[in-house]
Structure 1
Amino acid sequence: MKAIVSNERKGYNNYGTFLKDKYNGQKVYKIIVDAGFSCPNRDGSKGFGGCTYCNTDSFTPELSRKLPSLTQQVLQGIERAQKSYKAERFIVYFQPNTNTYGSVAYLKKCYDEALAAAPDLIVGLSVGTRPDCLDPETIALLESYCDRLNVDVEMGMESMYDATLQQINRGCSHQEFLQAVEWFADSPIDLCIHTVFGFPGETVEMMLQYIHEMNQFPQIKFVKFHHLHIVEGSILGVHYKRNPFPLFTLEEYTDLLCQLIPLLRPDIVIQRLFGISDWDLLIAPHWGLKKTLIQNFMDKEISRRAIVQGALYSLV
C-alpha cells in the first residue's frame, strides 16, 4: 500500500476531503440527533455512573424527555446547516449515549423516523455505540440500510488495555471490542473506531500500539482520535480536582499525532485528530485556542515535519 496524501495537501487522509470526493464536491454535513438512549454501564445493567470521563449531567432522563422528536431534530439540524454552512446533503448521526442499546424493533423505529425526515437530502446514517451493545442481529438491521445509504458504525475502543478499561469503569473488555470488530469483517458497513489518548498510566509507546492494533483489521475504514480532557460532572473530574495528574499540552499531543500518523494504515480516513469540550465544562487541559486554531496548529506542524500517513506502516 502506498502512503496517501489528500488533495488538500495534508499529510493524512482527512474526512473533509473524503466527503468531497465521495459526494462529487457536494457539501455534506452531519446532523446530530439524540434518541434518548441510555448505556448499560449507566443504568445498572453492567454498572452505574458510566465511564469515569463522561459528563453525567448530559445523560439525565429529564433531558431526554425534553428533546424534540427525531423528525424535528433532523429538520432543525438541516435548516441550521444549510444557513450556516450551505450544506447540500446530510448524514444523520446518532451520537449521544449508546445508540444500539435497545431491541432491534425499537432501533429500527428510531432510525426509520430520523431517516424519513428528509429522504431526498439524507445520504448517510452514522451510529455511535459500544462493543458490548452490538450483535449480528443489530448489525444485520444496520446493513439493511446500505442499499440506499452509506452506513457507518462508530465504536469506542477508548483503550486497548484492560487495566485502563477497568480503571475508567468502561464496563467491557478489549476482547469484547475485538469480537465486535470481527462481526464487521464481511459487512458493507464502514467501521469507525474511537480512541482516547492520555489515560493515566499509559506511556506513549503503549498508545502507539493502538495504531498497530487497528491496522490489522481491513474492516476499519475510519478513526477518531481524542485526547483525554477532564470535564465537570464526571467522576474523573472529581478525582482530578483532588489529585491532579499530567495531561497532554497542545505541543505534546501534536507530537504524539506526528508519531502515530506515519504508522497508521494509509487507506484509513481520520475523521478527527482531537476532541473538544464546551469551555464552561472543561476543567483541563486548557489549550487556550478555539477548535479551528487547534486544527490549524496541528496541520501546520504535521506539514512542517513532512509527516505522511502510512510512511512507516507495516503489519509486522
Structure 2
Amino acid sequence: MGTLLDTGIKGYNNYGTHLKEKYKGQRVFKAIVDGGFTCPNRDGSKGYGGCTYCNVDSFTPETARKLPTLREQLTENMERGRNLYKADKFIVYFQPNTNTYAPAHYLKMMYDEALSVNTEDIVGLAVGTRPDCIDAEKIALLESYTDRFHVDLEMGMESIYDETLDQINRGCSHGEFVAAVKLLENSKLDLCVHTIFGFPNETEEMMLGYIHEINRFPQIKFVKFHHLHIVEGSIMGVKYKRQPFKLFTLEEYTDLLCRAIPLLRPDIVIQRLFGVSDWDLLIAPKWGLPKSAVQTYIDKEIERRGIVQGSAYRPGL
C-alpha cells in the first residue's frame, strides 16, 4: 500500500513543492555563484578567522570556486542544472561569504552582471548575508529587482543565544539579527533564515526556542535548518580533533526535527532540513549515507510519526 510520501506529499511545507507550485510545474535549479566577497569577521573589521564552524569551500560547488568570472560560473552551473536535473529555469544564488558586504553601487554591478547571463532562463535572485551587513539602502537595491525576479534574502541567525554567538566568533549579536529583520517589515523581499542545531553548550529545549523566535516575525518566509557538522579547514575542526564533543546522530537529529516541525508556523517554507558538506572535507558526524538517503530517512520518519508542520504552533508563544 502506498503512502502520502510516495505521492510527493510531506508533513511539512517543503521547498520542492513550493517551487513547483510557484513556477507552474517547471523545474527550477539554484545556480550558485561566488562573487568574491569576504566577511567582517574575516577581514579584520570585526575579527579574523570567520565563524569557527565555517570553511566556505565545504558548501561551495567546485565550479564556483575554480571559475573566475560570474558569467563562466553561471554558464557552467546552468548547463549542469539542465543536464543533471532537467532544469527549465534558474535562481541565481550568491552563496559563499557575505554577499551584501560592499557598497551598494558595487553590489548593483555584481547582481546586474549575474542576472544578464541567459536572463530569459532566470526567475529569481537569492542573496546570502549576515544581519550586520544589511541596511535600508541595500534592501532598496534588492527590492529594485522584484519587478523582474523573485528575490530571496537569506540571512544567518545560527543561534538566538549571544553566549553561543560569542563562542563561535560570529561577530554579531542576536539583537542585530532582530534589528535587521525589523528593517524588512513590509518588504517585497522574501526572507530566509538559516539556523544551526547542535552547538555543544545548547540543550534541546534551547534549540526549540529558535522556532518560537522565528515564528514571531511574519516577514520570515523560508527557513533552512542545519545540524552542526565539523569540516576540515575550520577552527572548530581543529578543536574537535583535539577534543571531540557530542554531535547529533542521524536518529537524534531526526528526533529533534520531529519536535521542531510541529512548532513551526505553518506558512513558513522549509528549504532545507539538514546540512551538507563535501565528503572529503567532512570530519563529523559521518552518518554513512548520501544526501538523498538522509533526506529519505528523515521524510519517512516524519511520515511514520504523523508529524505535521504547525500542529503545535501557538501564536504569541
Q: Which residue of 2 aligns with 1:164?
A: 164
- Is 1:212 aligned to residue 212 of structure 2? yes
Report the residue type matching 1:107 in the other structure.
L
Q: Deviations over 1:265-301 (max 9, x none)?
A: 0000000000111111111101000000000000000
Distance 1:216 1:49 in 2: 32
Q: Which residue of 1 aligns with 2:179?
A: 179
- Tell me, yes or no, if the aligned pair for 1:36 and 1:65 is still in contact at 8 Å: no
- Tell me, yes or no, if the aligned pair for 1:211 and 1:263 is still in contact at 8 Å: yes
Percent identity of equivalent pairs: 70
Distance 2:258 2:117 in 1: 41
Question: Cα–Cα, structure 1 residues 222 and 187, in superposed 2: closer, same or farther, change >3 Å?
Answer: same
Q: Which residue of 1 aligns with 2:188?
A: 188
Distance 2:55 2:183 in 1: 30
Q: Which residue of 1 aligns with 2:34?
A: 34
Q: Which residue of 1 aligns with 2:244?
A: 244
Distance 1:12 1:56 in 2: 29
- Tell me, yes or no, if the aligned pair for 2:34 and 2:65 is still in contact at 8 Å: no
Question: How many equivalent residue pairs?
Answer: 308
Q: Which residue of 1 aligns with 2:115?
A: 115
Pairs within 5 Å for 1:51-70 = 51-55=51-55, 67-70=67-70
Report the residue type matching 1:196 in the other structure.
I
Report the residue type matching 1:314 in the other structure.
R
Q: Which runs of no fewer than 5 residues in structure 1 stay unpaired? A: none
Distance 1:86 1:64 in 2: 20
Alpha-carbon shift at residue 102 of structure 1 (Å): 0.2
Report the residue type matching 2:206 in the other structure.
M
Distance 1:96 1:201 in 2: 27
Pairs within 5 Å for 1:1-20 = 8-20=8-20
Report the residue type matching 1:79 in the other structure.
E
Which 4+ stretches in 1 moved above 3 angstroms? 56-59, 63-67
Report the residue type matching 1:285 in the other structure.
P
Q: Which residue of 1 aligns with 2:302?
A: 302
Report the residue type matching 2:283 in the other structure.
I
Q: Which residue of 2 aligns with 1:255?
A: 255
Distance 1:136 1:122 in 2: 25
| SS at structure 2 position matched to 1:132 | helix
Alpha-carbon shift at residue 83 of structure 1 (Å): 1.0
Question: Cα–Cα, structure 1 residues 240 and 304, in superposed 2: closer, same or farther, change >3 Å?
Answer: same
TM-score in terms of structure 2 length: 0.95
| SS at structure 1 position matched to 2:286 | coil
Pairs within 5 Å for 1:92-111 = 92-111=92-111
Pairs within 5 Å for 1:131-150 = 131-150=131-150
Alpha-carbon shift at residue 8 of structure 1 (Å): 2.4
CA RMSD of aligned residues (A): 1.7
Question: Cα–Cα, structure 1 residues 291 and 199, in superposed 2: closer, same or farther, change >3 Å?
Answer: same
- Tell me, yes or no, if the aligned pair for 2:81 and 2:87 is still in contact at 8 Å: yes
- Tell me, yes or no, if the aligned pair for 1:36 and 1:64 is still in contact at 8 Å: no
| SS at structure 2 position matched to 1:101 | coil
Distance 1:190 1:56 in 2: 24
| SS at structure 1 position matched to 2:120 | coil
Alpha-carbon shift at residue 75 of structure 1 (Å): 1.3
Report the residue type matching 1:197 in the other structure.
F
Q: Which runs of no fewer than 5 residues in structure 2 stay unpaired? A: none
